């Protein structure tokens, strides 16, 4: 369980944190010089917090470790920001300021901007865009794709599938992508393409997509086991896996959230009665994101002779619970994601030839606002939480009407990195640049952006 700091335990729990803060105030040039590495990486681990803008990180930090505390993801030596806009389907020369996870994922997966809803295909022309996972495979790296969402959801899908619409997740979901159906010579749904692509380690939710039939009695899951995948459905079964090709499906849809709590409501909501989140809510048969990350690293490292691998790990429900204006569930997913980052950092500490990146796909709606009062309060949905500082923090969601799904925002978001090529994330870059950072780390030549503006 992530420590919820309470009064006297502050020093004990946050001891490392305080040291970290102190270190940041000293001359860091000696420490940073050797961190600048222009070489290639034998291991690439990309952590994506879906909908994890600076605001979402701050909300989680304040709640879980206090305003002066630091999360694992705060410890990376190089931090920058990247722009996340997408482009218009009808006129790709025009930006769309608020992007979705399909377009943003396509940006780092392929190095090209696309329109909202597309999975590694180009806006307007519907061309397949080669992905970083495919490039890693060509260069002999084992590959893994881990998420708390459905494996066929946009963020995991962009690495291993090419379809016109993110909705085309299983063979029965192809209404928006008639040209991609296998029956007309297309590559099939996202689920089919992920299996056909031979991604070594696939862990997440979304079993219902893989239980759809490809032809007659054969389901996508059947096809996966014919293709050599070991299928697992529980955390217990995952622990026993030793095959380097595994399909782990731990929920029919999105995996359960780690924490629960009251949803945000119009004022006065719970402003005068701050809530404390309920932790440890995930079903025991569903592994945590950190457990999936550790297992994926372990399997991938043994999948090839030299141990080279590319792995993407997504904390998906930071986004999904922001849509639901549920701050406790959102924070719990951010903290669970941070624990997965910690697993990656521990691996990277022992394997210096690891490029480790922590980024988001787009910002989301939650904002930390001043204490609302009868005389003056925001018009959106509000929830007040009692933080690790034992201080109330009010979070406002105001990007959609009450009872509607809260919307993403168009802000730039944090990207942080360490290892070979990591220094390239400094300053303000674009999401498509992350593709080139990772491609260089793979030792591939990096073509200039194509449809990126
Ligand atoms: Zn979203």
Q: What would the pLDDT profile of 199-217 be if each residue is shown by its tens digit? A: 999 999 999 999 999 977 8
Tell me the CA–centroid distance for residue 421 and ligand 1, in Å. 29
**Interval 69-85 mean pLDDT:** 97
φ, ψ dihedrals at 139, nearest 5°: -95, 10
Tell me the CA–centroid distance for residue 153 and ligand 1, in Å. 11
Tell me the CA–centroid distance for residue 327 and ligand 1, in Å. 15
Contact between 269 and 381 (Cβ < 8 Å): yes
CA dist 356 and 335 (Å) reads 18
Q: What would the pLDDT profile of 238-267 be if each residue is shown by its tens digit? A: 999 999 899 999 999 999 999 999 999 999
Tell me the CA–centroid distance for residue 272 and ligand 1, in Å. 30
239 Cα distance to chain centroid: 23
Q: Which residue has the higher pLDDT, 5 or 142?
A: 142
Tell me the CA–centroid distance for residue 316 and ligand 1, in Å. 9
> Is the Cα dihedral 179, 181, 187, 190 positive or negative?
positive
Contact between 97 and 404 (Cβ < 8 Å): no
φ, ψ dihedrals at 327, nearest 5°: -65, -40
**Interval 118-132 mean pLDDT:** 98
Q: What is the pLDDT of residue 447?
A: 64
Q: What is the pLDDT of residue 448?
A: 60
The CA–CA distances, whole Å, from 30 to 17, 20, 241, 424 equal: 21, 16, 43, 19
Contact between 317 and 153 (Cβ < 8 Å): no
443 Cα distance to chain centroid: 24
The CA–CA distances, whole Å, from 203 to 222, 235, 289, 313 equal: 17, 11, 9, 9
Q: What is the pLDDT of residue 18?
A: 34
Task: Indicate if the pLDDT at residue 13 is higher than 60.
Answer: no
**Interval 37-56 mean pLDDT:** 98
Give the number of residues written for the chain: 453
Q: What would the pLDDT profile of 346-370 be if each residue is shown by its tens digit? A: 999 999 999 999 999 999 999 999 9
Tell me the CA–centroid distance for residue 276 and ligand 1, in Å. 25
φ, ψ dihedrals at 218, nearest 5°: -70, 125
Burial of 141: CB neighbours in 10 Å, binned 0-12, 13-18, 19+: buried
Tell me the CA–centroid distance for residue 232 and ligand 1, in Å. 27
325 Cα distance to chain centroid: 19
Residue 2 pLDDT grade (very low, low, confident, very high; cuts 50, 70, 90) = very low
Structure-token pair, residue 128? 């397949």
Above pLDDT 70, what percent of the chain? 93
Task: Indicate if the pLDDT at residue 75 is higher than 60.
Answer: yes
Q: What is the pLDDT of residue 449?
A: 58
Tell me the CA–centroid distance for residue 444 and ligand 1, in Å. 32
Task: Indicate if the pLDDT at residue 19 is higher than 50.
Answer: no
| Strand blocks (E) in 188-315 | 201-205, 213-215, 218-219, 230-232, 246-249, 265-266, 309-315
Tell me the CA–centroid distance for residue 109 and ligand 1, in Å. 18
Tell me the CA–centroid distance for residue 23 and ligand 1, in Å. 36
Residue 290 half-sphere exposure toward CB, CA atoms < 13 A: 19
Tell me the CA–centroid distance for residue 323 and ligand 1, in Å. 6
The CA–CA distances, whole Å, from 449 to 23, 111, 160, 359, 435 equal: 38, 6, 20, 20, 10
Q: What is the pLDDT of residue 28?
A: 86
Residues 6+ apart with CB under 8 A from 65: 3, 5, 13, 14, 17, 71, 388
Q: Which of 258, 370, 247, 353 is nearest to 315 (CA)?
A: 258
DSSP H or E segment with residue 346: helix 327-350
Q: Which of 322, 326, 332, 238 is nearest to 286 (CA)?
A: 238
Q: Which of 48, 72, 44 is nearest to 60 (CA)?
A: 72
Tell me the CA–centroid distance for residue 320 and ligand 1, in Å. 6
Give me the torsion for CA of 161, 166, 169, 175, rounded to 10°.
-120
DSSP 154-213: HHHHHHH--BS-TT--STT--TT-GGG-GGGTS---HHHHHHHHT-SEEEEE-HHHHTSE
CA dist 450 and 123 (Å) reads 12
**Interval 420-432 mean pLDDT:** 98
Task: Indicate if the pLDDT at residue 54 is higher than 60.
Answer: yes
Q: What is the pLDDT of residue 217?
A: 80
Residue 1 pLDDT grade (very low, low, confident, very high; cuts 50, 70, 90) = very low
Contact between 95 and 423 (Cβ < 8 Å): no
> Is the Cα dihedral 342, 53, 253, 259 positive or negative?
positive
Tell me the CA–centroid distance for residue 156 and ligand 1, in Å. 13
Q: Residue 295, SS3? A: helix
Give me the torsion for CA of 58, 99, 257, 77, rounded to 10°.
-40
Q: What is the pLDDT of residue 3?
A: 41
Tell me the CA–centroid distance for residue 408 and ligand 1, in Å. 6
Before 101, cis peptide (omega within 30)?
no
CA dist 162 and 184 (Å) reads 15
Question: Looking at the annotation, which residues are catalytic?
Answer: 101
Q: Residue 251, SS3? A: coil
């Amino acid at each position: 369980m992530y420590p919820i700091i309470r009064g006297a335990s502050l020093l004990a729990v946050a001891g490392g944190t305080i040291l970290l803060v102190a270190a940041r105030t000293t001359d860091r040039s000696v420490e940073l010089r050797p961190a600048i590495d222009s070489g290639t990486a034998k291991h690439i681990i990309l952590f994506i917090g879906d909908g994890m803008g600076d605001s979402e990180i701050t909300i989680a930090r304040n709640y879980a470790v206090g305003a002066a505390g630091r999360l694992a993801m705060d410890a990376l030596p190089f931090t920058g920001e990247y722009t996340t806009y997408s482009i218009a389907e009808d006129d790709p020369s025009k930006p769309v300021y608020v992007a979705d996870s399909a377009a943003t994922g396509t940006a780092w997966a392929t190095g090209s901007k696309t329109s909202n809803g597309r999975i590694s295909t180009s806006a307007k022309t519907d061309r397949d865009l080669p992905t970083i996972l495919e490039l890693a495979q060509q260069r002999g790296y084992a590959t893994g794709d881990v998420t708390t969402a459905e494996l066929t959801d946009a963020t995991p899908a962009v690495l291993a599938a090419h379809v016109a619409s993110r909705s085309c997740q299983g063979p029965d979901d192809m209404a928006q992508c008639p040209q991609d159906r296998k029956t007309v010579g297309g590559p099939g749904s996202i689920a089919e393409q992920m299996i056909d692509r031979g991604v070594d380690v696939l862990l997440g939710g979304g079993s219902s997509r893989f239980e759809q039939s490809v032809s007659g009695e054969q389901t996508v899951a059947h096809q996966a086991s014919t293709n050599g995948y070991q299928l697992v459905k529980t955390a217990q079964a995952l622990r026993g896996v030793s095959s380097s090709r595994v399909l782990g499906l731990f929920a029919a849809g999105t995996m359960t959230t780690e924490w629960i709590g009251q949803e945000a409501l119009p004022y006065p909501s719970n402003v005068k009665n701050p809530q404390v989140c309920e932790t440890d809510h995930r079903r025991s048969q569903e592994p945590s994101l950190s457990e999936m990350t550790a297992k994926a690293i372990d399997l991938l490292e043994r999948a090839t002779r030299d141990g080279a691998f590319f792995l993407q790990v997504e904390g998906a429900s930071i986004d999904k619970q922001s849509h639901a204006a549920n701050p406790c569930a959102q924070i719990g997913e951010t903290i669970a994601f941070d624990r997965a980052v910690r697993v990656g950092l521990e691996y990277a500490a022992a394997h210096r030839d690891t490029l480790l990146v922590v980024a988001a796909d787009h910002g989301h709606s939650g904002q930390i606002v001043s204490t609302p009062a009868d005389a003056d309060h925001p018009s959106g949905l509000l929830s007040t939480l009692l933080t690790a500082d034992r201080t109330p923090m009010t979070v406002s969601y105001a990007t959609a009407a009450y009872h509607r799904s809260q919307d993403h925002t168009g802000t730039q978001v944090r990207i942080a990195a360490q290892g070979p090529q990591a220094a390239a994330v400094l300053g303000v870059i674009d999401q498509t640049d992350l593709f080139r950072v990772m491609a260089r780390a793979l030792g591939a030549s990096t073509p200039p952006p194509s449809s990126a503006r």
